[in-house]
Structure 1
Amino acid sequence: MTAFAIETLQTELQNKNPRVILKKALESFDNIAISFSGAEDVVLIDMAVKIRKDIQVFSLDTGRLHPETYRFIEKVRKHYGIAIDVLTPDREQLDKLVKAKGLFSFYEDGHHECCGIRKVEPLKRKLAHLDAWITGQRKDQSLDTRQDIPEVQLDTAFSTPDHPLIKFNPLLNWTSAQVWDYIEAYGVPYNELHQRGYISIGCEPCTRPVLPNQHERAGRWWWEDAAKKECGLHAGNVKAE
């Protein structure tokens, strides 16, 4: 897809309903997948299976997820009767990190190295075999890194000159309240940790419940600069200083 075609598609889909964006994405690409980890992504799965039964879904198993999250992945698989491609880190890279720095190095030197091995590298391997992917990103998840993302874009973080990768963000303009209204209305499965104060859920050592009136991303990497809370999956959102 050319830059002009992407721009034309973005113009067509700007501010459209998530179902319209999702339907267009699934019609435009056969080799497309939904990235699944949180509540937003299951909303997308719920919408997508009503449009096209043979959707591809993948999830990242970092090896450090909460037990509840593993149960959640299985619950979604059974509920929708879909296959979920569970991606795992490269063993050699992971062994090297753990032997050199232990299991909790991110508390001392930041989360990016660990996330790079446990999340970004497996994702990169997966995306190399896709033409497009669908994410559950929302603008209100981060005032610093997600305000300028469009409904459809060239994924500059994972594209190569020989392999342009398109990324769709159907829930871009939804709020958290709209996501949960949909979950309640349609009986969508969700992670039981949400009932214990967790809003944005990542790896167990790097996620904690948030307090009343705190932003949902406050529970992620809470020891770091709040303005840079991206793990690398959406690295293109972080602007250069």
Structure 2
Amino acid sequence: MSIDTSTPETETAEVEPATGSHRRGRMSRGMAIELFAIPVLVIVGFLLYVWWRQTASLDYVESSSLAWREVRLELWQHVKLTIVASAIVVAIAVPLGIALTRPGLKVLAPVVVGVANAGQAAPSIGLIVLLFIWLSSWTGFWVAIAALTLYGVLPVLRNTITGLQGVDPTLVEAGRGVGLSMGAVLFRVELPLALPVIMAGIRTSLVLVVGTAALATFVNAGGLGGVITAGITLYRYPVMVAGAVLIALLALLVEWFGRVLELLVRPKGI
């Protein structure tokens, strides 16, 4: 009798660790690809840019436009624009998306999303210039931040609403049934389940902000768009292409950062 009882337990003990290690191995391979492939691509791309910059035959105008001091300054300005605008976008869009899924404000969700859609549909350069004229007392940096925020809000707002609306209502009712308050249900049930969708919207917004920040140069806010503008104005295609490559590498790096952030904040088992 004791032999019959111990045999199934032994078999179960042998199967479970193998299955668990297989899952962990699969997850680690996927995380390794996301964590290392994009940074390697960015590093290789930047090293190729450095090699080209050091070996290319550039005239005086091209060398001046691509001077390392100027490129570093414009890169820092571009990164600063992206960080500040993205932080404001998240601070506005996520709480607003949460509020628009609550019973009292749910009816306003289509109106708010429609306004955000209209703002993003406007030509980016036109919006930046109009804001610059309208907000004449502001510096170019904050005018660019306002325009980038308007462009970056929609993906985060829409995904926050979609993610929260996609949570199974029975799970919400179960949380309420065990005595959790509405706030506790939101932070312990709804937001963890909606987080992957919200983070996808944040990643999309980050890339959108990086690309649109190239237009900040038109309102004296700096950024790598100045390199592209100089190339177009001076009819120097190497300068224009170099600026586009640097912006593309920065967009890849920012998108990778969004993926890493998603992996760090995503609850286990989701």
Larger helix share, 1 or 2:
2
Larger strand share, 1 or 2:
1
**TM-score, normalising length from structure 2?**
0.27
